């Protein structure tokens, strides 16, 4: 199946930022969506917005740290539509800090959400894709792993772990499945809200004000990859502001 119309797409981290923008865009192009996120109220509001515009979506409160939550989201898509065509693993967090701050709980949280969350999605969707002999993994990564800078050591490490996972999965996928990694740069999201250090939070917020591009730009990149013919695999997309180093 090429194009987007009629494809069944599950998205994690769908309640805001890149996930929300991707859901809205794919819905306008005819995809049928299964939306997952932790913030149930925002998730329900997004579903209502999509349906009010004539789209089709279901949603489920989903914490990607819990393998059973990802399994439930994939199951919901399959029960509603009989299959799953695409899993967009977008959920991620970035409570960044310098190593001297010893915010070990934040390190653990980033590993759990950013890395284990992607693996839980693969575990949920891969058996479905194998049975169908079709399917597409889209993993949202980050340019933070391409250029290492202070205060982002653990965050970048989690994103580079996902980069490695994505490439290995692509090589193992065979001729029937597709695997895409999308690495956004500075994007106008609520990324800075989870940062505890006031100076780092202010610095990130300032750079975001100066440089950030809309989440809609990342959604367009994701839609481009999904919309290619079944025998075309877009392996990597890096999308950043023109002014970003």
Is this model's pTM higher than 0.85 or not? yes
Mean pLDDT score, 206-230: 94
Look at residues 237, 226, 230 and name the one whose alpha carbon lies nearest to residue 25: 226
- Fold adopted by 8-239: Rossmann fold (3.40.50)
* 71-124 pLDDT, tens digit each: 999 999 999 999 999 999 999 999 999 999 999 999 999 999 999 999 999 999
Rounded Cα distance between 71 and 122, Å, is 10
Mean pLDDT score, 202-207: 88
Rounded Cα distance between 46 and 229, Å, is 28
pLDDT for 2 equals 61
Does the pLDDT value for residue 140 go beyond 60?
yes
Give the number of other Cβ atoms within 10 Å of residue 157's Cβ.
18
pLDDT for 176 equals 95
Contact 20, 215 (CB under 8 A): yes
When the pLDDT of each residue in the chain is averaged and rounded to a whole number, the result is 96
Mean pLDDT score, 113-136: 98
Mean pLDDT score, 123-129: 98
Q: Could you tell me the sign of the dihedral formed by the alpha carbons of 180, 122, 22, 9, in that order?
A: positive
Mean pLDDT score, 140-165: 96
Does the pLDDT value for residue 245 go beyond 90?
no
> Which amino acids are annotated catalytic?
155
Give the CA distances from residue 36 to residues 43, 62, 231, in Å, rounded to whole numbers and listed in that order: 7, 5, 28
Mean pLDDT score, 47-54: 97
Torsion of CA 112, 145, 90, 28, to 10 degrees: 180
φ and ψ at 125, to 5 degrees?
Answer: -95, -30
Where do we find the tokens 């819905």?
A: 27
Q: Collapsing DSSP states into helix, strand and coil, what is residue 135?
A: strand
DSSP 213: B
Does the pLDDT value for residue 1 go beyond 80?
no
pLDDT for 209 equals 84
């Amino acid at each position: 199946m090429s194009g987007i119309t009629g494809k069944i797409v599950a998205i994690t981290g769908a309640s805001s930022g890149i996930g929300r923008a991707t859901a809205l865009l794919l819905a306008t192009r005819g995809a049928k969506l299964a939306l997952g996120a932790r913030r149930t109220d925002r998730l329900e509001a997004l579903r209502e917005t999509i349906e009010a515009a004539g789209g089709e979506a279901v949603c489920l409160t989903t914490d990607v740290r819990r393998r059973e939550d990802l399994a439930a989201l994939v199951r919901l898509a399959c029960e509603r539509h009989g299959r799953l065509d695409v899993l967009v693993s977008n959920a991620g967090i970035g409570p960044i800090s310098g190593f001297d701050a010893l915010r070990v709980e934040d390190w653990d949280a980033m590993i759990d959400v950013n890395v284990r969350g992607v693996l839980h999605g693969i575990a949920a969707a891969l058996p479905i894709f194998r049975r169908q002999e079709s399917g597409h993994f889209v993993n949202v990564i980050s340019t933070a792993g391409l250029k290492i800078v202070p205060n982002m050591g653990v965050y970048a490490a989690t994103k580079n772990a996902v980069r490695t996972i994505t490439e290995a999965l692509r090589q193992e996928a065979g001729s029937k499945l597709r695997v895409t990694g999308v690495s956004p740069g500075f994007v106008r999201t609520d990324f800075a809200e989870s940062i505890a250090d006031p100076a780092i939070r202010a610095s990130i917020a300032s750079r975001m004000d100066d440089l950030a591009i809309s989440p809609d730009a990342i959604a367009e990149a994701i839609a481009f990859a999904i919309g290619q013919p079944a025998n075309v695999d877009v392996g990597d997309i890096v999308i950043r502001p023109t002014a970003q180093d």
